[in-house]
Structure 1
């Protein structure tokens, strides 16, 4: 699921950097077999091959106190060891910093990036109507072909480069599960294989920059998230609420960060603290993860 308004980037930055990196992304895409069929895309490119030339990455401290600051950056408590912020923000001093990018959907406040020459990267149904996320003011990106994935990855990789230059240690690409929201007129337009293929490109690029990369939600991946894509750890929203936490810990062990939200029964958070609060990072946040000092701000950690 999407979290909130997270990024404002200029079209000039996205387009210029994207053009510079298209060739490199295309080479990565060609590293494996990627054929789109009626059943979806198939990819034989392994995570180990993708990361063969990767720089050494550092994972978040296991069960380190976490703060989710996507709705606005603020000074974290001294006890906080891990902070996630939007790619437009600066990393928090002295913390392990995770950089958020909306990798599979558009941002409500970022129209220019996906207009003009990039307008065809927004998913459309058979009538040419843009396919939107039913819960957020965002459109799904079209990952259905290798050519479009290459172009999307070029844009995303320019943002990943910016995160690395700022000093973030990891990337959080959101909406990996967008294929589950891609139905139109009863037909599912995207597949899990399409999105996994894009994730492979992003993971290879992040690792090449020395950045760890998180699997955001998407318990449907099973072991493929780690073995096929090369995700290093997981960020799981509401996994206690929906009884999905084991899907992440079975794959990533203790390298899991869990966020529960205040608009769900509080028992989800309290149960999570009792069951796994001593082994993985578990926090409670307001749904819009607003900055500290705002009226709706809620933050708890166990």
Structure 2
């Protein structure tokens, strides 16, 4: 008994000290702040042209163009016109016609995705795909682009040949956002509507195809509520059938043809 009392007293004093000590400060957020990066505002008009020589006569403040097919001079010309420029790259599928096609090991190539020369990527393999995508994002930055549009960010919803889950897609998409932000560029979430509530904080804007046709435009509301543009296109639905609704939802909408050439019908 005479030896246990001091031990109990010491334990009590230690417990009181722990309770009265200030709580540790939370770990800093590793993601860079949004300040300093361009971010399109809600309702910003845009042009999406992935085919042919870029036609600069479309009077809109934002152009989304192919990152491989356009050089730094094309980006500079658009900047001189007062435009911001988004770099389109394919982040979810391998493309047989890209100059870096041989850098992708066969093990990460899945089934065809319906477009000639394209195969889904195994997005579980961050160890393989992260450096490959980093090189593509470096290309966008070196050419002077303001933002990146990584395409095919919803492989887990498709028959890719791999057992992809929503968790794999979430990790991959956040990895892509981090690559863009680390290079001072903003980044758009392409489709992947089911995961918008979990990804809206990681992305600076959204790019959507055919939410009117599939009746799921309401899923994009978190971006608009956060003051982030939703760049939206329809292919089959006439503008007269969706523009009024698009304006109410705050979408930046237009109709395009599937080839994504110059032609457009804006709202």
Partners of 2:126 and 2:34 in 1: CA distance = 21
How many pairs align?
Answer: 229
Alignment of 1:301 with 2:233, yes or no, is no
Match of 2:86 in 1: 98
| 1:8-19 aligned within 5 A | none
Secondary structure, aligned partner of 1:139: strand
Change (3 A) 1:96 1:116: closer
| 1:22-171 aligned within 5 A | 49-52=29-32, 56-77=36-57, 79-88=59-68, 89=70, 90-91=74-75, 92-93=78-79, 94-110=82-98, 113-115=100-102, 118-123=105-110, 131-134=111-114, 136-144=116-124, 148-171=125-148
5+ long unaligned stretches in structure 1: 1-47, 124-130, 293-297
Match of 1:235 in 2: 207
1:83·1:95 contact (CA, 8 Å) conserved in 2?
yes
Change (3 A) 1:193 1:73: farther
1:82·1:95 contact (CA, 8 Å) conserved in 2?
yes
Change (3 A) 1:139 1:177: same
Partners of 1:122 and 1:108 in 2: CA distance = 11
Secondary structure, aligned partner of 2:120: coil
Match of 2:18 in 1: none
Determine which of 185, 194, 204 is the counterpart of 2:178.
Answer: 204
Alignment of 1:277 with 2:243, yes or no, is no
2:113·2:160 contact (CA, 8 Å) conserved in 1?
no
How far is the alpha carbon of 1:116 from its aligned partner?
6.8
Structure 1 runs of 4+ aligned residues shifted over 6 Å read none
How far is the alpha carbon of 1:54 from its aligned partner?
7.4
Partners of 2:190 and 2:232 in 1: CA distance = 10
Partners of 2:126 and 2:182 in 1: CA distance = 18
Partners of 1:149 and 1:97 in 2: CA distance = 27
Worse-superposed segment, 278-287 or 238-247:
278-287
Change (3 A) 1:53 1:67: closer
Change (3 A) 1:76 1:300: farther
Partners of 2:254 and 2:178 in 1: CA distance = 29
Relative to the length of structure 1, the TM-score reads: 0.69
Relative to the length of structure 2, the TM-score reads: 0.77
Higher relative CO (Cα under 8 Å, sequence separation at least 6) belongs to 1
CA RMSD of aligned residues (A): 2.3
Specify the structure having the higher radius of gyration (Cα).
Answer: 2
